[in-house]
Amino acid sequence: MRQVSAVQNRKLGVICAIGVLFIWSGFIVFSRAGVKTSLTPADMTGLRFLVAGCMTLPFAYRWWPRDLPLKAILLMSICGPGALYSVLMYFGLSETSAAYAGVFANGALPIFTVILVALYSGIFPAKIQSLGLVVIVVGALLLGSAGFYGEQKNVVAGIALFLTASAILSVYIFGVRYWNITPRQALALVNVPNALIFVPIWLLFLPSGLADANISTVVFQALYQGLGPGFIAVILFALAATHLGPTATAGFSAAVPASAALLAIPVLGEVPDSLEWIGVGIVTLGLVLLLVKRK
C-alpha cells in the first residue's frame, strides 16, 4: 500500500513539474516580448506581484508558516520566484534573447541544486543522473549556441544575470523539500513579503513605462505574470519538489530551453536552426536520465 502511494506521489510530482515547465517556458518568451515594449523590468515585476499579492493576501494569515525558523522564512521569501528572481530575469531578458534565458537560467538550475543537496545532505546523484546532468548541459548549450554568433546586446551581462537568478532559485527549491513547505505556505512566503515591499517601492520610486504601453499588453503581462509564475507555478514548484525531490524538479526546468524554443517560433518569430533542434533532443535525453530513480 505504501509503495502504491509512493508511485502516486511520484506521478503527481511529474505532472506538477511538467506544469512548471510549460509555465516557465511561457514566462521566458512572454517576458522577453514584454521587455521589448515600453514596460521596464520594474514594471513587469510590479505587475506580477500586484496580481499575485492581491490573490494571496486574503489568505496570508491562515497560510503563514508560524513554526518555520526566521532563517527559513527569509531564505524562502528572498530566494523564491519573487521580486529578486524576477528583476534579475527581466533585466537579463532586456539584455539578450530568450534562448539565453532558457540555457543559462534553467539549464544551470540542476547543477546548482545538485551542489546544494550534496553540501547540506551529503546525497550525491547516481552515476546515471550525473550523466544526465552532463547531457542536459551539453544539449542546452547546443540549443542556445546560435545566439553566440549573432549580434546580441550585452550578452555577458545577460548571462551573469541568468546564472545569478538560477543560483538563487536553487536555494528555494532545496528549501521547499528541506523544511517541508506546503504549497499554501510557499504562496504566502513568496507573494506576501514581495508584494508588500516591492509594489510600493515600484509605484513610488522606480522608473516606469506604463503610461506609454498598450493597455492590452499591460493587462496580458499582469495576468500572465501574476497568475502563471506568480501563483500557479509556486504551487506546482512546491508539490514537485516535495514528491520528486529538488534535483529531479530542477531537472524538469532544464527542459525549458527546448519548450521555450518551440514557443518562441510563433510568439517571437525565432526559428531554431538545425543545431538547436539537435539540442532539443539532447536536453530531452538528459532529462530522462536525470529522472531515473536511484537504486
191-249 residue pLDDT tens: 999 999 999 999 999 999 999 999 999 999 999 999 999 899 888 888 888 888 776 77
Distance (Å, rounded) from C-alpha 25 to C-alpha 269? 15
- Residue 115 pLDDT exceeds 60: yes
Top-confidence residue, 97 or 35: 35
Q: Which residue has the cell 552532463?
A: 134
Asked whether 56 and 187 are in contact (CB, 8 A), the reply is: yes
pLDDT over 90 percentage in the chain: 45
Count how many Cα atoms sit within 13 Å of the Cα of residue 109 in the half-sphere of its side chain.
34
Domain extent, residue 225, equals: 2-290
CB atoms within 10 A of CB 207: 9
* Mean residue pLDDT across the chain: 85
Among residues 284, 279, 229, 275, which one has the least CA distance to residue 255? 284
Task: Report CA dihedral (262, 172, 249, 279) to the nearest 10 degrees.
Answer: 40
Flag whether pLDDT at 161 surpasses 80.
yes
**What is residue 249's DSSP assignment?**
H
Count the residues in the chain.
295
Of the candidate ranges 148-162, 181-195, 200-214, 252-266, the one whose mean pLDDT is the lowest = 148-162
Q: In angstroms, rounded to a whole number, what is the distance separating the alpha carbons of residues 186 and 179? A: 11
Q: How many CA atoms within 13 Å lie on the side-chain side of 123?
A: 12
Q: What is the CA radius of gyration of the chain?
A: 18
pLDDT at 190 over 90: yes
Q: What is the pLDDT of residue 96?
A: 81
Number of structural domains (the chain) is 1
Contact in structure between 100 and 92 (CB atoms under 8 Å): yes
Mean pLDDT value across residues 22-40: 93
Confidence (pLDDT) at 101: 86
Percent of the chain with pLDDT over 70: 90
Quickly state the pLDDT bin for 58 (edges 50, 70, 90): very high
The verdict on residue 295 lying in a domain is: no
Question: Looking at the predicted structure, is the pLDDT value of residue 111 above 90?
Answer: no
Instruction: Establish if 178 belongs to a structural domain.
Output: yes
Residue 48's pLDDT is: 96
